[in-house]
Structure 1
Amino acid sequence: MTDKTLPYDEKKAIAALKGVTTATLTTILLKKGLRNVWVRGAKPIRTGQPRIVGRAFTLRFVPAREDLATPESWSSPISTRAAIEAMPEGCIAVVDAMGVTDAGIFGDILCARMVKRGVAALVSDGVVRDVQGVLATGLPVWCSGVAAPPSVAGLTFVNWQEPIACGGVAVFPDDLIVIDDDGAVLIPAKLVDEVVEQGIEQERLEGWIMGEVEKGTALPGLYPPNAENKARYEAFKEGK
């Protein structure tokens, strides 16, 4: 995906953040005053999924209303099917399912189409259905679990590419999403370049600290480092 209107360097950010854990990112964002960036309920559907970084493509459900939440709605111009056809390559689909866990938002066919379109991953506070088929598509999924009933059993799909609330987190289109075994973390678009720089440095520092721990160094003054250990770390960076 390329977009000159983005406030961050997308290719650089994605490449760099693949080496930064979501745990590190939450700490960096906390220091900036952002405490609510971890999507509640979004867990990896299988172990061993890689860390994935991508631009958020948002989808929104509201509570089911009987005249709207019908199987016929799947053929509507405003449907999950239409939304998938609008997803650009490399995006992460972030779905506001209101935390509903008894209606599967996507199944194997929709996930298979997302794979064909080059979608990087699916993140939701809801659940998926046809789980064996979903797993077979190879689409990386972070969600709250699985359920057999279709989405219209509990939800009405209303739109895509607008601000949503997913797992209690406000997500805007083009925010950056990072997902790994610890879950899904949002980086506001305007903060991406700054967070990338700090994330790379924090991972380097923590790698050095871990090395010191393995040598038997005590934690006080090391984590976080005092002035003496900061000097030692700077010397390490300079190769001294």
Structure 2
Amino acid sequence: MTLSPDHKSALEKISTATATTVLLKKGLRNVWLRGTKPLRLGQKRVVGEAFTLRFVPAREDLATPESWASPKSTRAAIEAMPGGCIAVVDAMGLTDAGIFGDILCARMAKKNVAGLVTDGVMRDLAGVLGTGLPVWCQGAAAPPSVAGLTFADWQEPIACGGVAVFPGDTIVVDDDGAVVIPQALVAEVVTIIVEQENLEAWIMGEVERGVPLPGLYPANAENRARYEAWAKAQR
């Protein structure tokens, strides 16, 4: 299953705040990836399928500069990334070794990777920003990844920011961070999310008119009927 253009287009108009509310109503509480802050404020909202990468703690015989040329390396993983994906990297929350720098990010941008999300940090910060690749992370650190991490594999289930992410899950990311929508729930969730966003837009209009919050947010039966009449008139 792949993310359809219609679902992608719909999610690009929806905030991660709305997405988490809808997922909460579906019983999913742990969907917001901790530590995924925008490297540059004002980055556009990005939606795409997760391409997962996983690091484990550094082990001296494996975490070496020579490992960068291994068939199982971050370089090889980047070459396997399809255009439009979002790279989601499990760095175990480590903040004293940068997982990627400017050259790797430049290659990702050249391959039309939509964005990079990690619970770790980047290095070569000015260069990474210069590539134009949208990045969400915990900040920057000068040391390379092998100073604290060993690259393990790609396209397997990971834990990023304390959240389970599977290859092909849908990622929505904006100034509030990254949210995962399980692949099997995307169609259902999109329908609910669009309705929720429309309702909240109407509620905001009512708030601006001076309507009190009790009975409005959340909407009681009377206000729900008023909203539905409004929504019908918009069609």
Which category of TM-score, normalised to the shorter sequence, fits these structures? over 0.9
The equivalent residue for 1:233 is 227
d(CA) in 2 for partners of 1:73, 1:10? 37
- Which residues in structure 2 correspond to 1:66-215 (within 5 Å)? 66-215=60-209
Contact kept, 8 Å, 1:9 with 1:193, in 2: the verdict is: no
d(CA) in 2 for partners of 1:89, 1:206? 33
d(CA) in 1 for partners of 2:93, 2:184? 27
Q: TM-score, normalised by structure 2?
A: 0.98
Partner of 1:206, secondary structure, is helix
d(CA) in 1 for partners of 2:189, 2:90? 25
d(CA) in 2 for partners of 1:9, 1:170? 19
The equivalent residue for 2:28 is 34
What amino acid does structure 2 have at the position aligned with 1:150? P
The percent of aligned pairs where both chains have the same amino acid is 74
The answer to whether 1:64 aligns with 2:74 is no
Contact kept, 8 Å, 2:3 with 2:49, in 1: the verdict is: no
The equivalent residue for 1:15 is 9
d(CA) in 2 for partners of 1:180, 1:113? 22
d(CA) in 2 for partners of 1:88, 1:11? 15
Specify every segment of 5 or more residues in structure 2 that has no aligned partner in the other structure, as ranges: none
Contact kept, 8 Å, 1:59 with 1:162, in 2: the verdict is: yes
Over residues 177-227 of structure 1, what are the superposed CA-to-partner deviations in whole Å (9 max), with x where a residue is unaligned? 000010000000000001110111100000000000000000000001111
Contact kept, 8 Å, 2:11 with 2:172, in 1: the verdict is: yes
Over residues 20-71 of structure 1, what are the superposed CA-to-partner deviations in whole Å (9 max), with x where a residue is unaligned? 1100110111111110000000100011100000000000000000000000
Q: CA deviation at 1:9?
A: 4.8
Contact kept, 8 Å, 1:120 with 1:139, in 2: the verdict is: yes
d(CA) in 2 for partners of 1:172, 1:238? 38
Q: CA deviation at 1:19?
A: 0.8
What amino acid does structure 1 have at the position aligned with 2:24? L
Q: CA deviation at 1:113?
A: 0.1
Q: Aligned Cα RMSD in Å? A: 0.8
Q: TM-score, normalised by structure 1?
A: 0.96
What amino acid does structure 2 have at the position aligned with 1:137? T
Contact kept, 8 Å, 2:3 with 2:170, in 1: the verdict is: no
What amino acid does structure 2 have at the position aligned with 1:126? G
Contact kept, 8 Å, 1:175 with 1:189, in 2: the verdict is: yes
Q: CA deviation at 1:238?
A: 1.4
The equivalent residue for 1:3 is none
Specify every segment of 5 or more residues in structure 1 that has no aligned partner in the other structure, as ranges: 1-5
d(CA) in 2 for partners of 1:239, 1:43? 39
Q: CA deviation at 1:10?
A: 2.0
Q: How many residues align?
A: 234
What amino acid does structure 2 have at the position aligned with 1:222? L
Partner of 2:96, secondary structure, is coil
Over residues 104-135 of structure 1, what are the superposed CA-to-partner deviations in whole Å (9 max), with x where a residue is unaligned? 00000000000000100000000000000000
Partner of 1:133, secondary structure, is helix
d(CA) in 2 for partners of 1:203, 1:58? 29
d(CA) in 1 for partners of 2:111, 2:232? 44
Partner of 2:122, secondary structure, is coil
